[in-house]
Amino acid sequence: MNARVVAIIQARMASSRLPGKVLKDLEGVAMLGRVVERTRRAETAEDVILATTTDASDDAIVEYCHTRDIPSIRGSHFDVLDRYYDAAQETKADVVIRITADCPLIDPTLIDDAVHLLLGSGEPRSRADAAICTDFDLVANRLPPPWKRTYPIGLDTEVCTFEALEKAWREAREPGDREHVVPYMYKGVNLVPRGWHVSNGRSPRGFRVAVLNNSDDFGAYRWTVDTADDLEFVRQVYRHFGGRCDFSWLDVLRLVHSHPEMMSINAGVRHKTLEDLDERAPGADAS
């Protein structure tokens, strides 16, 4: 039996820098809808589900999903790892794709690349029978510093086995590990080149980790949405493509290279790091 691959998109209205951003309009469609549509284009994703919170402010997200037949689940506001675990259990996922709703340029081909690398040449089996046979426990197309990213910010894709997610869910205690879902898996890993576009290694906790690298370094390009400037940049991208959703990340790359002035729109935005925990979360440093 083939592995059941489920994409889980995390979203909430209470963004610290741009509240309500996931429902902001992008050429006639909410940003969340754009992320869902582009994620659904991934051939490896059997299902796509939205994971939001039980906070009343996120009722609008649930209503949006309900009126558009997007499956959704509600869980902890700050313990996003717990939210993912619940969604993975509910959908009986063998493999979990983690996507965030502030990445409306997410690329389905890159999602598929990560899933294919995770599954490798093994023979996946259902969780009811035995553990999945895979090459890795976690595959990403970027890790935060001190590791170097080569894909633009906003194409971030993380894929892990259910077993790895469950282990992290059971053992992780630090607020950052709970809020950002997968750091518990990769912390301390020593990555070594496996090929021209892959680095891999085993973390001190025993997780087999791989990172997909692009041949050219575009890691400084900012294509995510955290601020009003980010939103304006993405709106111009969608406007250029006539409100369509079928363009690739390489199409966007060609666009910004031919119109470099577009990249100045949000060039001054500081990218958040793992140290930037939500100060409202229990255990976070609010100083």
Structure confidence by residue, pLDDT tens digits, 251-278: 999 999 999 999 999 999 987 665 555 5
Cβ neighbours of 62 (radius 10 Å) = 17
> What is the number of alpha carbons within 13 Å of residue 120 lying toward its C-beta?
16
Q: Taking a C-beta distance cutoff of 8 angstroms, is the pair 164, 173 a contact?
A: no
Q: Domain residues of the chain, as ranges?
A: 5-224
pLDDT in tens, 4-61: 999 999 999 998 899 999 999 999 999 999 999 999 999 999 999 999 999 999 999 9
Homologous superfamily (CATH) of 5-224 is: Spore Coat Polysaccharide Biosynthesis Protein SpsA; Chain A (3.90.550.10)
Q: Give CA–CA dist 184/205, Å, rounded.
A: 8
Answer positive or negative: Cα dihedral of 138, 143, 147, 149: positive
Q: Is the pTM of this model over 0.85?
A: yes
